Amino acid sequence: MNARVKKIVLFLLAAVLLFSSGQLEKSLNRDRAQLGLTISEPLQNAPPLLAFTTVALGGFRGLISNFLWIRSNDLQQDDKYFEASQLADWITDLEPHFSQVWVFQSWNMAYNISVKFKDFPDRWRWVERGIELLRDSGLRYNPNDVLIHFQLAQFFQHKMGANLDDANVYYKQQWAEEMTPFFGASGTNFENLISPQTAEQRTNALILREKYKIEAVFAQKVDTQYGPLDWRLPEAHAIYWYAQGLQKAKENPDKVKQDDLMQLRRGIYQSMQQAFFHGRIINDPFSKTYALAPNLDLSSKAYDAYEEEYADEANQGQKDGIQRAERNFLSSAVYFLYENNRVAEAAKWYKLLGDKYPDKTILDNKPNSFPKNLTLEDYVFNRVEEEVGDTSQERTTGVVEGLIARSYYEMAIGQDDRSAGYTLKAKLVYNHYQTKMGNSQPRAALPPFADLNRTVLNDLLDTQKPVVPYAARAAIRTQLGMPAETSTPHAATISTNQVAPAVLSDTNTPAPTNN
C-alpha cells in the first residue's frame, strides 16, 4: 500500500470514528437524562467561542472556574471592578448552566460593586449591568430556571423598589424614563404593544421584547390578575418576573422545590404591598419633577394575594408571619384610603380589620395600642398622632397649617382626592386638639379653622413673597373661582366669601363624596 492510499484510508477511518463517537454521545446523553445523571443540559445555540471552550476544557472547566472566582474576589478587594467584571463574564462562560454562578455575579454587581461608587449614575450602571447579566445571558442558557427568575425579580423589588439604597429614587427615575416610551404616560399602554399599528409602535414592541425580554401579552395577563399596575415603576416588573418564575415552575414541576414556589408567591404579595404604598406617579408640572403616591386601586387584589399565600402556606410559623403582614397592610390601607378622601372604602377595610383582628393592632410591639370599639376617625387620628408627635398648641397649629397648604398644592396639580384628603386630615387634627385641650383650657385653644385656612391661603397667593410658582397660584385661584392675580401689593388677601365653604367649615368633618 503506497503512502497516498494509506492517508486516504486513515482519513476515512478517522471520519467514521468521529461520526460513531458523535452518535454514541447522543445515546449516552439520552441514557444519562433518563437515569437522572445529567446536572445540566448541553448548550444550545451558544456562540462558537463559548461552545468550543466548554467542550475543549472538559473536566478542567471546574478547576479553571474556581481559580477565576478566587482571582475575581481579589480584584474586587483591590477595587479593580472592571477587571473583576471581565472575570465574571469568563466564569459564566465556563459554567453557563450553573444558575448560582449567574445569580451571584449579577447580585455582586448590583449590590456590592454599585455601592462602592459615590455618584448615582455610576451606581445605576452597575445595577443595570447586574440585571442585564441575568436577563440577557442567564435566561438565555437557563430559560426555565426558577432561581434566576426569582433573583431578577428581587432586583426590581428590593434594589430599585425599596429604599435599601440611598440612590433608589434615582433608580426609579431612570427606569421610569426607560419604560415611558413603551407604556406611555399612564403606564398601561398594552394595546399599542400587543397590536401595534404604526412603525413607531412596532419598533417599541420589538425593543420591549428583544431588549427587555418582556412579552406584552403575558404582561397584560399579569396586570389583569394583579393590577392595575404602573409599568413605569419597578414593582410591576418584579411581579412580572415572579409570575414568569411561577409559570416556568408549572411547566417543569419535577425540577422545582416547594420552597421555590413559596418564595415566588411571597415575592408577589410583597411587591403588591410596595406598589400599594408607592405605586402611582404624580407629575408636578411646576417643579418638573414627580413624586410617588399610593396606588389605592390595588387594595382588594393586594389583600387577595395575602389570603392566597396564607391558604397555600403549610408552615404555621410562616402563616403567623403572613397574618402579621396582612394586618399591618390593612391598617395602612385604612389610613391611606381615608387620607385620600376614599372614606367609604376606608370604612369597609376598617370593618374587616376589626372583624378579623379585633384588637385593631397596628404594631406588633404595641399589642394594646388601640382600644376596642374605636371609631374610624379616632383610629385614623391615632395614626396621625404618630406622625405629628406631641400635641402642643404651637406644634398642632403648624401641623394643621402644613396640611392645609399641602391640600391647596394638591389642588393645583390636579390631585383633587388627595387635596380633599389633606383637608380631612387637617380637620381631624384640629377637631381632636380642640376637643382635648381647647374646651377645657381656653387659653390653649387654636384659632378658628377658617382663620388658619385664610392665613395659609394668603401666604400661598402672596405675590410679594411667593412661596409657590405663578402657575400653581393661578391654578389655585381658578379652582376657587377667584379673579386672576394682579401685581398690587397684598392683592392676595382673601376674604371669607372667596374660599370654598367645605374648606372653611369649623364643624366636625363631614363624610365627603367618595370616588
Residue 189 CB-half CA count within 13 A: 17
Q: CA 107, CA 129: separation in Å to the nearest integer?
A: 10
Among the listed residues 277, 375, 268, the one whose alpha carbon sits nearest the alpha carbon of residue 333: 277
Per-residue pLDDT band for 493 (boundaries 50, 70, 90) equals: very low
Continuous segment of H or E residues that includes residue 272: helix 258-278
61 pLDDT above the threshold of 50: yes
Count the neighbouring beta carbons within 10 Å of the beta carbon of residue 92: 21
Continuous segment of H or E residues that includes residue 4: helix 3-34
The pLDDT value recorded for residue 237 is 96
Q: CA 496, CA 390: separation in Å to the nearest integer?
A: 31
Burial of 9 (0-12, 13-18, 19+ CB in 10 A): exposed
Output 340 or 39, whichever has higher pLDDT: 340
Count the neighbouring beta carbons within 10 Å of the beta carbon of residue 98: 18
Cell numbers found for residue 392? 402642643
57 pLDDT above the threshold of 70: no
The pLDDT value recorded for residue 432 is 81
pLDDT tens-digit profile of 98-140? Answer: 888 888 889 888 998 898 899 999 999 999 999 999 999 899 8
How does DSSP assign 453-490, residue by residue?
HHHHHHHHH-SSS-SS-HHHHHHHHHHHTPPPP--STT
Across 34-43, 86-95, 179-188, 401-410, least confident range: 34-43
Among the listed residues 425, 397, 429, 423, the one whose alpha carbon sits nearest the alpha carbon of residue 410: 423
The pLDDT value recorded for residue 23 is 76
pLDDT tens-digit profile of 156-190? Answer: 999 999 988 899 999 999 999 999 999 988 888 89
Per-residue pLDDT band for 148 (boundaries 50, 70, 90) equals: very high
Quote the mean pLDDT of the chain. 79
Per-residue pLDDT band for 91 (boundaries 50, 70, 90) equals: confident
Output 142 or 78, whichever has higher pLDDT: 142
∠ CA 287-289-291, nearest 5°, is 120
The pLDDT value recorded for residue 227 is 85
Q: Contact, 275 vs 229, CB < 8 A?
A: yes
Cell numbers found for residue 262? 413559596
Per-residue pLDDT band for 53 (boundaries 50, 70, 90) equals: low
The domain spans of the chain are: 144-314, 390-504
Cell numbers found for residue 183? 407604556
335, 429, 458 from 378: Cα distances, Å: 11, 10, 31
Q: CA 70, CA 337: separation in Å to the nearest integer?
A: 53
Query: Prior bond to 228 cis, omega within 30?
Result: yes
Q: Where are the beta strands (DSSP E) in 131-185?
A: none
Which pTM does this prediction carry? 0.73
The pLDDT value recorded for residue 239 is 96
Q: Give me the residue label for grid cell 478547576.
A: 63
Q: Contact, 207 vs 214, CB < 8 A?
A: no
